[in-house]
Structure 1
Amino acid sequence: MNNAQTVPTNGTDTTDNLPGENYRMVDALGHRLRVYDEGPADAPALVMFHGAPHNSLEFRYNVPAIVGAGYRVIVPEHLGAGGSDRPEEAELYSGRHDYERALAVVDALGLETFYVEGGDRGSLPAWMLAALNPERVLGLVSENVSHLNGFFIDPALDQRKRSWYMSYFQFEAAEEALRADDWALAREFFDWHPDMEHILADWERPNGLKASWLNWYRSTVNPDTAPKADPLPEVTAPVLQLYTLNDPYIGPEQLITGREFIKGPFTLRRIGGAGHFIARNAPEVFNREVIKWLGEREEERRSS
């Protein structure tokens, strides 16, 4: 583990969008997902999974640097987010379905092997791809969330306390409360997120709030109706674990419980002050750490 990194500026000197010509629609198990795809087709690919609530713009300050370092970057927008389909059925938004659609996307793009990155909602497809497809995933970069067995199977009491909102969002009354007074509760809840206007733009579309945020909780962590999570296999691919101590939603204990299930080469990096959304809040440090780590993994592959 290295020393704490200092969070730099929030990327305000970079374009506020991703080039529209790099988006495509990809069929994933009967639903269309909008996917951002930039970089040489034959370059090592990094598939990045954004959190909730957000869309591919969460990575707009990361993609240019990673592509510039010689990689292909692919960002699928989850069902309900960005330009992807927004069906009504809540059960379609589960973490397991996110994983299955993610696998369909990489298959549709013809990726035999690839790296994965994810945080928040994106943690589930990233960790599940690595655990269930070890022959294809070259390595994993995770923001705050460790191996899912340490988060969902037997979470520590501190993490249960931090996850209170997952229970609150099961109720229909939560939607009305979030919308009240120009989204005052939502704005306060996401104090650490600098992209509230992008998020609200998604929420204010028909079915937007449920599709891009609430349905994930209602289908994945509802204590009465969500399928019980089965333990995942150990992850044997190299892992770069980025974390910060000021994440209000994810506690450090799950780094310890999750570490038990990581058997491949493991790199732990603390990024001070980055909050829950590390790639968005600390893009310069994130980009430097990820590009360095990818370069080391690629050098190892060439020399093996």
Structure 2
Amino acid sequence: MRIDARGLRFDVITGGPEHGEPVLLLHGFPQHAGEWNDVMPTLHVAGLRTYAMNQRGYSPGARPEAVEAYRLAELVADAAAVLDALGVDSAHVVGHDWGAVVGWALAAGHPERVRTLTAVSVSHPAAMAYALTHDPKQKARSAYMALFRRPGVAEKTLLALNASGLRRLLRGVGDDARLAAYVDPMREPGALTAALNWYRAMSRTDLAATGPVTVPTTFVWSDRDVAIGRAAAEACAAHVRGDYRFVELAGISHWIPDQVPTPLAEAILARVRPAA
């Protein structure tokens, strides 16, 4: 379905029982709502209603040109506005990669909208800001962001030679068909620039300003994640005031929803329905 919110039009994949508890699924870079395709069926069987949105820059109808339009506050406001348009007062929020950043910030700034939070792969923004400043290993892991923040150069690098840069970045998501499902939309005019604008609009000030999370929270991290190291992952606990669980997956890379959808779905359900 398409949702009009904040003067933009967002594509949203819906599924599950119409009156089930709502779950908002937020994707990361350089993917889209389809990264939840293998996670959602387990949630549907459990009676949950899912809403997987293509976020700002990823929905063709929600692709403003200005870099400032992709600051974290705008991304959080989009998620809240889509919930409003759906008539959902509060939802269980699940986010991967950049979607996790939005989820953390939404839960911190608008706890009344978030029943529970399951953040996947990327740490609480303040934990990331601290790690980027104080942990040399995390700074090295995040060095790719310097390229992503260079207009034109990043696009050329990632799309050259049949998008070989994007393909290398996504190594581990699955077979050729799954890889193409993520790469092909990024080759559409303006799509990759809009996605990269999330990085270009990012500031450590915005990240560090994200407050503590008071809602029940699970952070799912994999020990072979090339982007997020253990120091940043374990620092999340200091930024959660509600019930908190840290789920570590062994031998898995950054692409958790694609690689291990069932264990991830089980972690989500354990958070949504802890007594089950």
TM-score by length of 1: 0.83
CA RMSD of aligned residues (A): 1.9
Q: Which residue of 2 aligns with 1:36?
A: 13
Alpha-carbon distance between aligned partners in 2 of 1:38 and 1:273, rounded to the nearest angstrom: 30
Q: Which residue of 2 aligns with 1:90?
A: 67
CA shift at 1:89, angstroms?
2.4
Q: Which residue of 1 aligns with 2:256?
A: 278
Change (3 A) 1:277 1:285: same
Contact 1:99 1:124 in 2 (8 A): no
Q: Which amino acid aligns with 2:115?
A: L
Contact 2:216 2:271 in 1 (8 A): no
Change (3 A) 1:132 1:228: closer
Q: 2:231 aligns with which of 227, 237, 253?
A: 253
Change (3 A) 1:292 1:259: closer
Q: Which residue of 2 aligns with 1:173?
A: 153
Q: Which amino acid aligns with 1:193?
A: V
Q: 1:190 aligns with which of 128, 153, 170?
A: 170
Question: 1:101-143 CA distances to partner (integer Å, 9 max, x unpaired)?
Answer: 1111111111122110111110122111111122231111011
SS at match of 2:228: coil
Question: 1:161-214 CA distances to partner (integer Å, 9 max, x unpaired)?
Answer: 111111111222222122222122222232233332112211221112112x21
Q: Which residue of 2 aligns with 1:217?
A: 199
Alpha-carbon distance between aligned partners in 1 of 2:226 and 2:218, rounded to the nearest angstrom: 21
1:266 matched to 2:244 = yes
Report matched runs for 1:1-304 at 5 Å: 24-153=1-130, 155=132, 156-171=135-150, 172-194=152-174, 195-211=178-194, 213-221=195-203, 228-296=206-274
Alpha-carbon distance between aligned partners in 2 of 1:232 and 1:174, rounded to the nearest angstrom: 28
SS at match of 2:253: coil
How many equivalent pairs are there?
A: 270
Contact 1:153 1:231 in 2 (8 A): no
State percent identity of aligned pairs: 27
Q: Which amino acid aligns with 1:274?
A: I
Contact 1:82 1:202 in 2 (8 A): no
Change (3 A) 1:90 1:280: same
Alpha-carbon distance between aligned partners in 2 of 1:282 and 1:108, rounded to the nearest angstrom: 31
Q: Which amino acid aligns with 1:55?
A: H
CA shift at 1:40, angstroms?
3.1
CA shift at 1:153, angstroms?
4.6
Contact 1:238 1:265 in 2 (8 A): yes
Q: Which runs of 5+ in 2 are unaligned?
A: none
Alpha-carbon distance between aligned partners in 2 of 1:229 and 1:69, rounded to the nearest angstrom: 34
TM-score by length of 2: 0.91
Alpha-carbon distance between aligned partners in 1 of 2:236 and 2:267, rounded to the nearest angstrom: 21
* Structure with higher helix content: 2
Q: Which runs of 5+ in 1 are unaligned?
A: 1-23, 300-304
Contact 2:131 2:231 in 1 (8 A): no
SS at match of 2:160: helix
Contact 1:26 1:35 in 2 (8 A): yes
Give 4+ residue runs of structure 1 displaced > 3 Å after superposition.
227-230
By relative contact order (CA 8 Å, sep 6+), the higher-ranking structure is 1
Alpha-carbon distance between aligned partners in 1 of 2:149 and 2:112, rounded to the nearest angstrom: 37
